[in-house]
Structure 1
Amino acid sequence: MKMKPEKYSKDKQILKKHVAAIHIGAKLSLLQRKLVNALLYNAYDQLLTAKEHKISASVLCEMIGFDSHNSAYLKGALKGLMETVVEFDVLEDDGKTSWEAMVLLPYAKLKGGVCTYRYEQSLAEKLYHPDVYSKINLSVLREMKSAHALVLYENCYRYVDIAHTPWWDVDVFRKLMSVDQMISYKQFKLLNRAVIQPAMKEVNELSNIQLELETKRKGRTVTGLRFIIRPNPQLSLIGMDTEDDITQMPAYKALMAEGVSKTLARAWVIEHDEAYIFEKLDLASNEAVRGNIKSSKAGFLRAAVEQDFHNENAQKQKRLEVAQTAKVERERLERQLDALKKAQREAETAYRRSCAERIEEAFQALPEAQRDTVTAEFQLSLGGRIYVDAFKKAGWKDRLNAVEIRKFWGARGVSFPSPADWAQKNGSSEPDALKAQIKELETEIKKPVISVKPI
């Protein structure tokens, strides 16, 4: 059976992640850490029952906020996971540690736009633990820009219910943050300045929690630390509630009642309007009552949804016509949304170039001997190899590190106009205004389709 292309929802998604995996000791890049979470989310429902798991490569890239056209980069990241021996150095609730090691991903395949992968049984059993897990918000992970922030969020979110982490020895914390081999972070003040504070700032700005650092001292030496965890007061504004709009839709709930997996139910509700889903549910129920289903009702339902089986009943046909009208309107809104997103990208690109020109002027104005020092200083502030390589390739005009570059030069006294001031001066569309229009239109598109009941 040929599957229709999946669509990925950028709505909130919650991943149940075993606490051992959260305290992972492997040296993974930011992209690889996001990839681990996305693959686990996709496989979770069948983690112990299926030998292989599949996901559309474009959906996978969307989940981690990655350019889906760069297949070579994705292959490299998957290969990196396959070559990674993971150390599970777990902090147990009683304060004791346990250690295990295993290959993170033994098999991966990309073919026809689909990623197929496997977990070893021992790892699958460890990752699937319904009683002991931490809820990791995938919408948060997708937004993270540094590996340190992502690791800090994962390690702290386990303890959100008790409002603080345990006290961690500084050496243990360095290992959790994967900087235990870096001599430059042996001094706590350097660790705090270059790792902890930037990571806390990013978590506090982008996630559904806020952190506050507390330390223990022996004399003048910091020996331990922990984080106070509070809910983000802007939670409702950034849309990170525990339940999202998709899971509250009647069609989603009806599919779950029929035993459809949450991943598949979500994909169907995103791809089709509610009238379409209810039509297929009615069709499956009627055919089951008539004894016309030879296999299973769930299997028939999947075929009905993906191959668009039709019921010629007049009442159901009326629903289909109403649904088609709604679909046409949604497509119109989606075209409008695409145009707004294009305008936003163009405005952001022009603003970024304007700022880059100021930065390049400031850089060229430095004495030649000082330029190398400034460049090296900025590279040390970057969170991972991917970001360093991108900067080496594109320099101060690098798009991936644009925000950090502006912060760096802003701290050195270079002033930048706000996007609004820049737009007004240059007669351009304001990026933030376009973003607000996009958000409003996306909210409109997400509204459930109201199906017409038969007379």
Structure 2
Amino acid sequence: MASKSVTLAEQSPQPPKRLKGKKGAKTEARTTQIGLFTVEEPEPFKKATPAVHISAKNKALTLVQHKIYNALLANAIEQDRDHAGTNVGLSQFSIALTDLVDKVGLNSNNRDYLKGVINSLIGTVVNWDFLEAERGEVWAATGLLSTAEMDRSTLTYEFSAKIRDFLVHPQMYATIDMRIVRAFKRAAALVLWENSVRYEGIGQSAVIAIEKLRQLFLGQEGAKTIYPEYKEFKRNVLTPAVREANEVSDHTIEVLEVRQGRAVVGVRFTVARKQEAPRLESVDSDLLMSVTQLGIPSSEARKTLGRHSESDVRNALDYVRAREAKKGATPITNVPAYFRKALAEKWMAPEKSSGTKKAAAAPGLSITGITEEEIREKYRASQLGDARAYFDELSAADQAELIVRYNAWQPMQKWRLESGKKQSAAAQQSFLSWLAHETWGEPSTEDLFKFVIKGLASTATA
């Protein structure tokens, strides 16, 4: 039996050939670089977890529906970010049709075809956060879009007010790269990839019951009649989806079957970056999760577990937890930076330190001819090279996530990092300064004191 099925193949009509125009050249793959970086250009956005784990009430979403909805979400998040500071949240978003076609990678800008897909998004009811709804979370169902309007060049659209905030300002999310989304040929493969990438930080998903899995891929009504036997579903849907996701994405995904006796009752997905050598089995997954939960990027966390002993990592974690739990203490403003310093300097929680006293803080700096703030600026400037080296060591996904966070933080459009353009020297320096502060935090007086002493020693030996 052929592996493709009418349910998972494109249910929308095949789009007509793209009309030639001045933007026709944009159909080529986006392989340009962000000027500062030597990785293939990412196009990441934060997709809210409830929007990743969706199940259509009737039939499964088509590939084009998935791609266009992702493009509309990414566009809405960007427009809302640019609107920040006005104290009025956006309820309506707009995108040029040519930009929508380019973001999705369609070979057509036929308005009637696009209207048909947008109509289907308004009429498609989905259950949000489908995998979590039975674990005590609120059940919610709406159409993917609430309204849409299209003129000759622009699509204007809205999300339901009930879901708009968590879509545009996600607290929990998966970082989805539109560069990869465009490469998918099967809707099931894209669904598999998104639902796996959601767990990239810890390397594996929770166990998903087979019936829940079928509804996730086939839609709730579709799952009642399509491939009712798991072996059929596996052969025609799951196996081809895993194969394609591993071919076109930056990840390696595996399906682990959970059995009761001889029957398969559930599956678990494992996910890892292709360029990362350590496999899930080679690290302590609970320890890895503990480190990433502090806000450490997953690729850095894996390298940390490879470069430091398990006891040093656990001591640093215990120190951070003890410090956070200490009553009356000033809150830690940058937990990841605090953890990195605790690990580098081998700090231990009081109950583990065997009475060893921590060195007293360095005295306030007082050097003739230069102020403490000037020393602080020189210290920050000295960190730019280290920040660049740190960034280059991260995985493409973690790099993309940092770019998203930086652009959301940076209020000046001219200093944000833009895809497909050579970055200005000012934008590069702004990013690296932000990255250094995010990674290592504000230097202490002791850090500045050591920096001055090191500088004086270098001068003396020159």
Q: Which amino acid aligns with 2:240?
A: P
| Counterpart contact for 1:255–1:265, Cα < 8 Å | no
Counterpart-to-counterpart distance in 2, 1:105 and 1:256: 28
1:18 maps to which residue?
A: 48
Deviations 1:145-202 (A, max 9, x none): 0110011111111111111110111011111112553434221111111111000001
Q: CA RMSD in A?
A: 3.7
Q: Which amino acid aligns with 2:246?
A: N
1:221 maps to which residue?
A: 263
- Is residue 2:130 matched to residue 1:90? yes
Counterpart-to-counterpart distance in 1, 2:126 and 2:42: 28
Counterpart-to-counterpart distance in 1, 2:246 and 2:424: 40
| Counterpart contact for 2:133–2:139, Cα < 8 Å | no
Q: State how many pairs are aligned.
A: 264
Residue 173 of structure 1: which of 208, 213, 236 is its match? 213
Residue 266 of structure 1: which of 418, 433, 436 is its match? 418
| Counterpart contact for 2:417–2:423, Cα < 8 Å | no
Pair 1:261–1:114, CA change in 2 (3 A): farther
Deviations 1:272-300 (A, max 9, x none): x768999xxxxxxxxxxxxxxxxxxxxxx
- Is residue 2:178 matched to residue 1:148? no
1:196-215 correspondence runs (5 A): 196-215=238-257
Residue 115 of structure 2: which of 54, 57, 75 is its match? 75
Deviation at residue 205 of structure 1 after TM alignment = 0.6
- Is residue 2:369 matched to residue 1:243? no
| Counterpart contact for 2:131–2:212, Cα < 8 Å | no
1:306-385 correspondence runs (5 A): none
Match of 1:145, SS?
A: coil
Higher helix share: 1
Match of 2:193, SS?
A: helix
1:375 maps to which residue?
A: none
Deviation at residue 36 of structure 1 after TM alignment = 0.8
Pair 1:265–1:82, CA change in 2 (3 A): farther
Deviations 1:286-342 (A, max 9, x none): xxxxxxxxxxxxxxxxxxxxxxxxxxxxxxxxxxxxxxxxxxxxxxxxxxxxxxxxx
Deviation at residue 66 of structure 1 after TM alignment = 0.4
Deviation at residue 127 of structure 1 after TM alignment = 1.0
- Is residue 2:58 matched to residue 1:28? no
Match of 1:177, SS?
A: helix
1:193 maps to which residue?
A: 235
2:158 maps to which residue?
A: 118
Match of 2:171, SS?
A: coil
Whose relative contact order is higher, 1 or 2, with alpha carbons under 8 Å and at least 6 apart?
2
1:62 maps to which residue?
A: 102
1:430 maps to which residue?
A: none
Residue 99 of structure 1: which of 123, 139, 150 is its match? 139
Pair 1:92–1:85, CA change in 2 (3 A): closer
Counterpart-to-counterpart distance in 2, 1:19 and 1:195: 23
Identity %: 29
1:41 maps to which residue?
A: 74
Match of 2:76, SS?
A: helix
| Counterpart contact for 1:29–1:147, Cα < 8 Å | yes
Deviations 1:330-361 (A, max 9, x none): xxxxxxxxxxxxxxxxxxxxxxxxxxxxxxxx
Deviations 1:365-386 (A, max 9, x none): xxxxxxxxxxxxxxxxxxxxxx
Q: Which amino acid aligns with 1:266?
A: E
Deviation at residue 234 of structure 1 after TM alignment = 8.8
Q: Which amino acid aligns with 1:210?
A: T
Deviation at residue 111 of structure 1 after TM alignment = 1.9
Structure 2 residue ranges without an equivalent (≥5): 1-22, 31-40, 81-87, 278-391, 428-462
